[in-house]
Amino acid sequence: MNMLTDIPISLIVLCSGLGLILIGMWGMLTQRNIIRMIIGFSLMDTGIHMVMVSIGYVTGGTAPIINDAVPIADAVNRVVDPVPSALVLTAIVIGLGVTAVMLAFAVRIFKARNTLNIDECTESKW
Amino acid sequence: MIKRIFIFAMLALMAMIFFNLVANYTENTTLSKLGHYYADKGPQELGAPNLVTAVVVTYRGLDTLGEVTVLFISAAGVGLLLRRTRRNQDDDKGLEQGDRAEETAGVHKPASEIVETATELLLPMVVLFGVYVFMNGHLSPGGGFQGGAIIASGTMFLLLALPESHISRLMIAITESMSGFSYVVVGVLGVFLAGGFLDNRIMDLGTYGSLFSAGAIPLIYLFVGLKVGFELSAVLDRFRKEDTGPV
């Protein structure tokens, strides 16, 4: 039990994030269904966000919002790094935009060929 | 088979890179220099208790403007890809009979009265909560993007519960472009009245911790929230099967 509690929390988040990146990449490379490839991309995206958040963690830190729990004078020693959090916010929104465009392409491909299998789209294959 | 081996080898190499990363990982015990500056000076300089908001809206305001632009371009791209021209509609008429039959069979049963009433009751609350989240972005967890996403979830709710409902494209387009335009205007005002582009100190910083404080941050988040909310609503509307209304 002690072994478990000795592992820093950010390391757990980091490992889960890296694992999600690998799973997402595997999904994108092996799946032939376009929707599944998009799901793989989303998983990888989420993994990257988790890695970024874990890198900004400071031991014992709390959310970078100053309130009764985090007095303004002591904020420097109490909060986690706000910069990676802000970057993750940006990354989430951009990931959403990319996913929306990919899904729109998937709809178009389905309308044009009546299939979502990537192997049927042979024009750009060599 | 060779493809599979390549994929496996690539993933194994990635895993090795990641393993090195994890093996040498030590948790930070102090903030980075930049984070230290933001945590130390941010509240006094900008008057925003939420440091993430201070970074997103002011210190890294240009990034956020770029982010809003990316979202706009992706919404425009979805609109372009899923638009219905007259020719497309004629093509649809030429689809095989099976498809047509499926489509006519899929005509919606109207939603029950319970669903309709619940939607009418809950939808304004969802939108109000979205507005609350982006108006309090400088005080509590939340902000323009989160509030906008909540408003878009309200649209999703409407489209799921009452699929026949009509969403005015014109209203969406006007609100979206006006809020995007106002966002840039507020940014440019910062150049003339304060320290630089997107500086929030063009208005009085106000009482620290009250709703109308932190200079222009609530104003900027109002515009961002409206823009994101309506943009995502437009994207959701585009993904509907039956395209109502003018293109």
Residue A79 lies in a domain: yes
Query: Nearest-CA distance from B224 to chain A in Å?
Result: 12
Of the candidates A58, A39, A49, the one whose C-alpha atom is nearest the C-alpha of residue A18 is A49
Segment B4-18 shows an average pLDDT of: 90
In a domain, A68, yes or no: no
CATH code where residue A85 lies: 1.10.287.3510
Q: Does B239 touch chain A (CB under 8 A)?
A: yes
Asked whether residue A91 is assigned to any structural domain, the reply reads: yes
Quick one: average pLDDT of B74-99?
Answer: 64
- Spatial neighbors of B175 by CB under 8 A, at least 6 apart, are B226, B227, B230
Distances (CA, A) of A88 to A54, A91, B32, B63, B144: 11, 5, 17, 12, 14
- Say how many C-beta atoms besides its own lie within 10 A of residue A121's C-beta: 14
Rounded Cα gap, residues B58 and B42, in angstroms: 10
What is the average per-residue pLDDT within A35-47?
93
Q: What are phi and psi of A69, to 5 degrees?
A: -75, -30
pLDDT at B195: 76
Location of structure tokens 């372009």: B80
Q: Where are the domains of chain B?
A: 52-83+112-240
Show the DSSP H helices in chain B as ranges: 2-23, 33-46, 51-53, 61-81, 86-93, 97-105, 113-135, 144-161, 169-193, 217-238
Please say if the pLDDT value at position B81 is more than 70: yes
Mean pLDDT of B197-219: 76
Contact B14, A25 (CB under 8 A): yes
Task: State the pLDDT at residue B57.
Answer: 84
Return the pLDDT at A42. 94
CA nearest B236 in A: which residue?
A100
Residue A6 lies in a domain: yes
The domain tally of chain A equals 1
Give pLDDT, residue B106: 53
State the pLDDT at residue A58.
83
Tens digit of each residue's pLDDT (9 = 90 or more) over B137-178:
888 888 888 999 999 999 888 888 887 777 788 888 888 888
Give residue A116's domain range.
Answer: 2-63+73-120
User: Is A125 among the domain residues?
Assistant: no
Residue A126 included in any domain? no
| CA neighbor of B61 nearest in space, from B208, B193, B188 | B188
B residues 200-219 closer than 8 Å to A (CB): none
